[in-house]
Amino acid sequence: SQTIHQWPATLVQPVGSPLSLECTVEGTSNPNLYWYRQAAGRGLQLLFYSVGIGQISSEVPQNLSASRPQDRQFILSSKKLLLSDSGFYLCATTEDSYNEQFFGPGTRLTVL
Amino acid sequence: ELKVEQNPLFLSMQEGKNYTIYCNYSTTSDRLYWYRQDPGKSLESLFVLLSNGAVKQEGRLMASLDTKARLSTLHITAAVHDLSATYFCAVENSNSGYELNFGKGTSLLVTP
């Protein structure tokens, strides 16, 4: 079975600073990868998904970007963070032919 | 646009009681997923429902899917405190094949 790693686990950043969150997956090849954001007390918002290296689909316009430089690596970035970027960021992947998604441990980001 | 609605959004129930959480969705889909999230934690997959009439049970939880009514239920039997968590349903977006649309979640609190 697969294992999803995310780092850092927690992050406190000032407004206007850059961001880089990393997600790596073990135990699978050519996975679909997803970035979600969960604001405090809210549901999940899909930010990006990727079906292969270099292939990124964006779901909402925002100041975030994503990249997939390797098959099992997915990176979420920002050049300048906003207060509204605070939240719990979850990376997910699918394992089987159907789309049951498995989630990593998450990164809690606070923008001050 | 595929919309997923859960109700109730908040539920406080006594130990030993039964209750049902509902998940309605707006467009045709044959696949639905239930997740559990403990406070401050990531999402854990509970059930995968892949066809009309599917029923899955694990312990005190039972999930079912009626694709014709576009409705899934999560039934809780004889609730215990350990079931306190937020429960999300997610519906596969048949247009994209890759995306899940999540409900806003039901926060369940089981009290003595």
Chain B residue with the nearest C-alpha to that of A44: B102
Q: Is pLDDT of A10 > 70?
A: yes
User: Over the stretch B41-77, which tens digit does the pLDDT of each residue have?
Assistant: 999 999 999 888 999 999 999 999 999 999 999 999 9
Min Cα–Cα distance to chain B from A36, Å: 11
Picking from B32, B1, B9, the residue whose alpha carbon sits closest to that of residue B104 is B9
Buried b (16+ CB within 10 A) or exposed e, B72-90: bbbebbebeeebbbbbbbb
Look-up: residue for tokens 């690596």?
A73
Q: What angle do CA B93, B97, B103 make, to 5 degrees?
A: 25
Predicted pLDDT at B90: 95
Q: What angle do CA A64, A65, A66 make, to 5 degrees?
A: 135
Given pLDDT bands bounded at 50, 70 and 90, which one contains residue A39? confident
* A105/B100 CB distance under 8 A: no
